[in-house]
Amino acid sequence: MLTIRDGLIYSSANPEKSIDYAKLVRRVHFRQGGAVVMATGFYDPPTEMSDPDTQKGNISAAYAFGTQAALVEVDPETGKVDVLKIVAVHDAGRILNPVGAEGQIEGGVAMSMGYTLAEQLVVEEGAVVNTSLADYKLLTIGDTPEIKVVFVGEPDPEGPFGAKGLGEHGCVPTPAAIANAVYDAVGARICELPLLPEKVLTAVKGPS
């Protein structure tokens, strides 16, 4: 039985016997008839599967949280919404790569702005009828506002080195933040995306 700790491999029976992990791998690999050192591992986090009857459970070892606020301008004559700034505050545990994590949030915000303001997939009888990108509007870098990213929170004991997930953080709060900002600006509550100008204008003017 062997134990790997701090870059060394120990004999469990005699802990005083050890060898550097990298040195052992080189000895196994770089020799006549050498082999590639391979290993597998599995981590089962402390979770609780959902009860099929109550739908209650605890399916994740760690939960990440995030919130956003949007500053917008709404043209009352056309219904066009311009997003001027997004402030994104997220708890992802210990941030291992600050630049990469910030870019993840910024990319998520930019992507989410697309389906908040422009992207509309039209499906009729199970078929997509948008024939080209002329009928499926995508935002460009010119439409991306100032994005301020703030990370908060403490290292999570169940995460790798204290980190938590950051995959969808930037996407999820963006539509609600923009829609709430539109409501704050013009008093029109819109609960269906995308916030196309004609939809916003109709909501602002009210029932005809």
Q: How far is CA 43 from CA 81, 100, 158, 159, 160, in A?
A: 46, 25, 10, 11, 11
Centre a 10 Å sphere on the Cβ of residue 197 and count the other Cβ atoms it contains: 17
Closest by alpha carbon to 147, among 180, 117, 174? Answer: 174
Phi then psi for 180, rounded to 5 degrees? Answer: -65, -35
Residues serving a catalytic function are 168
The neighbouring-strand residues paired with 72 are: 83
In the DSSP assignment, the letter for residue 58 is B
* b/e per residue 177-196 (b: at least 16 CB within 10 A): bbbebbeebbebebeebbbb
